[in-house]
Amino acid sequence: MNAYLLTQLPLLAGFALLLVVASIWPRGQDRLSHVITLAALAICAMLTALKLTSGQEFFGGAIRVTVLGKSLAYAGLGLTLIAVVLAEDYLSKVKIHGADFRMVVLALALGIFHLPLAGDLATLFIAFELVSIPSYVLAGFNHRDSRANEAGMKYLVLGVFASSLFLLGLAFLYGATGEIHLAAIQQKVAGLLLTGSIADIVLVKTSLVFLLAALLFKVGAAPLHFWLPDVYEGSNLASLAFISVPAKVATFGLLGLILWGPFGFLNHTWRPILLGVIACSAVFGNLQAIAQVRLKRLLAFSAVANAGFILLTLLLNTAWAFLFYVVTYGLTSLGLLAAFMALGTEHADVDEVDDLRGAGKTHPWLASGLTLMLFSLAGIPITAGFAAKFAVISESFRSTLSHSRGFMIVLIGSVVLGLVSFFFYFKMVRALWMPMESETESAVEIERSRGWNAIFVLGFCVVAVVFLGLLMRLPGTPLR
């Protein structure tokens, strides 16, 4: 059997089993569907390690295995696995049908796995939609919540527009080059820049602009981030764990695949565009976050600011820094969501910053874990977040781009505005450890019968964030 097809069988079989389970046992199947989903993801990851090696091609070049692509597939599967563990208790709490939800998650995992390994335009678009469509469904999954319905509809309408731009970009690229495989397109674009007609070069650059617009929208980079706060706020925390972490990591991977691949010879065109987007992300992400009091909206603007740093790694063409940053950001975000889930009551989630007040006294271990996640997002030393940002800054000074005045202005501006983020992260830390106004005021209560998965994931993310932060300080690592 085809080795690549073998790696996909667990996800497809898991999807089919969940469909059967949901049909036979419409109630009381949450634990079984949870086990099936975990097993499918774990077996897929194991088969990927055993069967796929860098340099392999499948289905006539439709799938190409590279070191970065395989690493991103691993990262996507791993983060999805953690999010599945995190979501189990929460789904019961908000009374969401577990098997249906997890079927959508496995469809998303299929797209996340395919996206960084796509070798031609058709596979690229199919994988892109396999990530996009389940994300729309997850955003509006809780149909009893009007905010979730609004989030799902808004994400769907705007997302379809972005998908249209993406498809048009692929069509223009094919029209200009006459090739469908990414490797062949890269060589054809190089030839067009030397001997091609002006019309073909304009078509290629138009394709680049359309593809960039679609993907920058999907990752929530400014100024195309306008949808992000509303979708984050309307989505339940379980859905948000998948939309904001593994789906976004896969989309960033696709952005790198396109910029470093077919458009690698057009870096003089896309680098100024990315510089402008990075600057906008730093300004809008950090400054708009200051005024937020709702936790999900604050997390959304934090995501915009972090998107700027991730785009910097793509600008620098530094694969290891890119991979390290997206994994660090993914683990930190999941840890943050785990803390929010664990600190929620049986009937309500923590919604505003003030809802965290007093948690440091009543639940010091949870508050400490959440504080560490916030420190990592802010880039405080010893955390992986600090190591990731330091990696980006150090690679920037080593790069030939450091001789560009515009690049250095954007870099220094991003770092300075990053210091502004300390303010809104500290606002949450202050609320956590602030004493209650009166002895009769009720602090945030943890539902221990429903929150052990969240506590476990938070503990895992704390260990991972500290370990990665210390690991990068060892001799022989890229930061030493």
User: Which one, of 266, 252, 257, 211, lies nearest residue 64 by Cα?
Assistant: 257
Q: How far is CA 224 from CA 34, 175, 190, 424, in A?
A: 35, 27, 29, 22
- pLDDT at 186 (0 to 100): 93
* Contact partners, residue 227, CB within 8 Å, separation at least 6: 154, 155, 158, 217, 220
Per-residue confidence (pLDDT) for residue 195, from 0 to 100: 83
- pLDDT for position 463: 96
Cα separation, 39 vs 29, whole angstroms: 15
Predicted local confidence at residue 436, as pLDDT: 65
Q: Which pLDDT score, from 0 to 100, does residue 363 have?
A: 87
Report the first-to-last Cα separation within the chain, whole angstroms. 44
Express each pLDDT in 7-31 by its tens digit.
999 999 999 999 888 888 766 577 8
User: What integer pLDDT is reported at residue 283 of this predicted model?
Assistant: 94
Distance CA 400, CA 209 (A): 24
Instruction: Give the single-character DSSP code of 225.
Output: -
Q: Are 107 and 140 in contact (CB under 8 A)?
A: no
DSSP-based three-state secondary structure for 101: helix
Angstrom CA distances, 181 to 60, 215, 381, stand at 9, 20, 43
Tallying the residues shown for the chain, one arrives at 480
User: What pLDDT shows up at residue 446?
Assistant: 46
Dist. CA 357–CA 362, nearest whole Å = 10
Question: How do residues 437-461 score in pLDDT, each as one tens digit?
Answer: 654 444 444 444 447 899 999 999 9
What pTM was estimated for this model as a whole?
0.94
What is the predicted pLDDT for the residue at 312?
93
Supply the pLDDT for residue 98: 79
pLDDT at res. 147: 85
| pLDDT digits (tens), the chain, 480 positions | 688 899 999 999 999 999 888 888 766 577 889 999 999 999 999 999 889 888 899 988 899 999 999 999 999 999 999 999 999 888 888 778 778 899 999 999 999 999 999 999 999 999 999 999 999 999 988 777 788 889 999 999 999 999 999 999 999 999 999 999 999 999 999 999 888 788 999 999 999 999 999 999 999 999 999 999 999 999 999 999 999 999 999 999 999 999 999 999 899 999 999 999 999 999 999 999 998 999 999 999 999 999 999 999 999 888 999 999 999 999 999 999 999 999 887 777 888 988 888 888 888 899 999 999 999 999 998 899 999 999 899 888 888 776 788 888 988 998 888 888 888 899 899 999 887 665 444 444 444 444 789 999 999 999 999 999 988 776 556 655
